[in-house]
Structure 1
Amino acid sequence: MAFLTSVCIYAGSFFAIPLFRWLLLRKTNNDIARRNKAREERAQELLSPEPSLRRKLLSARDMAQWKVITPGEIVYTTEKDLLDQKYEVREWERRFKKLESD
């Protein structure tokens, strides 16, 4: 009787495990397909944007300019240990405020 029970459990799991795996993979693939479709729709919107989106994209492109930091603009450096650096508080504040205003 115990042998028959274990054979039935094995036979059931022989079919149940692949079925469960197939259902799980089907759900995962459907989620991926839905996400890819949404991405494709957004990409199409970017190819021919509405006037309001076009203005936003142009504004974002204008704001994305590179800023090159010159040695005169550096406020803090890690070249020396913090205890070895002799920064005057007023000088540091002045340079920091100047950078904020630029």
Structure 2
Amino acid sequence: MGVETIRFYQRRGLLSTPKRSEGVRRYGPDDVRRLRFIKQAQAAGFTLEEIGQLLALDAGENRSAARDLAKKRLEQLDARIAELHRAREALRRYPNAQRVRRVLA
């Protein structure tokens, strides 16, 4: 992960800025876990704002609200997957429909 990405997350409040040691920022295991979580949540389709909410809920130990947010996102993903399957099937039928029209013409 690039330095600019990490600094962007810091500016967004998703990651704290570590103390410097000899002019170098030192990130600990908790920071690394947090960065991994952010990337995984992004891969699951969460926005940075939603990721911030998840992190805040987890820090406040309001895990039921975090689960609800994750469940909502899962439902959205399932709906999107169903939509993509319908689009895929429509595209699969398209070449066959063109052949039928040519034969009937």
**TM-score, with length taken from structure 1:** 0.38
The structure whose RCO (Cα within 8 Å, separation 6+) is larger is 1
**TM-score, with length taken from structure 2:** 0.37
